Each structure stands twice: as C-alpha cells, then as structure tokens.
Amino acid sequence: MEYEALQGVIWTKGTFWVTVAVLIFLAFFGGKIIRAIIGMLDQRSNAIQHALDEAARLRTEAEAMLRDAEARRAAAIEQAKDMLDLAAREAERLAAELLADAQAAARRREKMAQERIAAAEAAAVTEVRNAAVSLAVKVTQTVLAETVDAAHDETLIDQAISDLPRTLRKQAA
C-alpha cells in the first residue's frame, strides 16, 4: 500500500496545503507561542528557585533552632548537675544536723537519767535517815522509859526551862 499524498503533483493535494497553512500559522504565531511557553517555564523556574530559597532559609532556621536546643539541653543538664550537687550537700548538712540533734537528745536523756538516779539516791538516803531517826526515837523512848523516873524527870524539865533563855539568845544571834 502506498501513500497517495506522495504520488503525482504535490500542490494539488490537500496535505500540501495543510502543511503550508501550518507553516504560515507557525510563522505568524510561533514566536508568541514560544514566548508564552518560555514565560511559563521562566515562571516555573522562578517558583522552583523561590521554593529552594525558602527551603534554604528554613534549613538555616532549623539549624539555628537545633543549636539553640542543644545549648538549652546542655544548660539544663548542667543545671540538673548543680541541683544534684546542691541536694547532696543539703542532705549531708541535714544528716549532720540530725546526728547533732540525736546526740544532744541522748545527752539530755542521759542527764535526766542521772538526775533521776540522784533523786532516787537522795530519796533513799532520806528514807534511811527517817527510818534511823524513827528507830533512834523509839530506842530513846524505851531507854528513857526504863531509866528515867519521875524525880529525874522533874530535874531535867527544870534544867531545860532554866537553859531556855540562853538557847533562845543563841538562835536569835
């Protein structure tokens, strides 16, 4: 099968005139079409360049934010270390204070116990003295009842009465 447009005189065929019409159309409007296509491509290129510039700016900002975040992180870590050191020192101080308080409390309790022991000793001595005095009084009563009679009693009373002014002067002085 052969293509008919290539047979015979070429300008008598419709294909020839379509080709001529397309070439005339392109001669008149081709520059405008090419300029429009180039303009669209330039706009697209500008948009891409703008997007690249924006991406570069955002990347720079992100890197700055990363550096800032790393600096804040390092500062926070340092602050946490300082806080831990401070807490350790405070714990040591508190432990020493509690130990001193406990030792002071133990000394106070020991002193109170010694005071109680001394009071108990004094009470025991007083009780023993009272018992001895009571026993001495009973023995004296018994001895006097057995040895002193009514006549001797009168002599002792008279002697005590005569010594009374002298004894009172001694006590007053």
For 128-149, what is each residue's pLDDT tens digit? 998 888 898 888 888 877 777 7
Provide, rounded to the nearest whole percent, the portion of the chain with pLDDT above 90. Answer: 57
pLDDT given at position 7? 66
Retrieve residue 144's tokens: 């006097």
Provide, rounded to the nearest whole percent, the portion of the chain with pLDDT above 70. Answer: 94
Amino acid at 148: V
**How much is the average pLDDT of 15-38?**
90
Is the per-residue pLDDT at 8 higher than 70?
Answer: no
pLDDT given at position 5? 54
Rounded to whole angstroms, the Cα distance separating 68 from 61 reads: 10
Question: In which element (H, E) is residue 85 found?
Answer: helix 14-147
1: pLDDT confidence band, cut at 50, 70 and 90? Answer: very low
Q: Residue length, the chain?
A: 173
Q: How far apart are the first and last CA of the chain?
A: 172
Retrieve residue 152's tokens: 């001797």
**How much is the average pLDDT of 44-62?**
96
pLDDT given at position 172? 80
Rounded to whole angstroms, the Cα distance separating 4 from 17 reads: 15
pTM passes above 0.75? no
**84: three-class secondary structure by DSSP:** helix
**How much is the average pLDDT of 56-83?**
96
- Mean pLDDT of all residues in the chain? 88
Retrieve residue 101's tokens: 């308080």
**2: three-class secondary structure by DSSP:** coil
**157: three-class secondary structure by DSSP:** helix
Is the per-residue pLDDT at 96 higher than 70?
Answer: yes
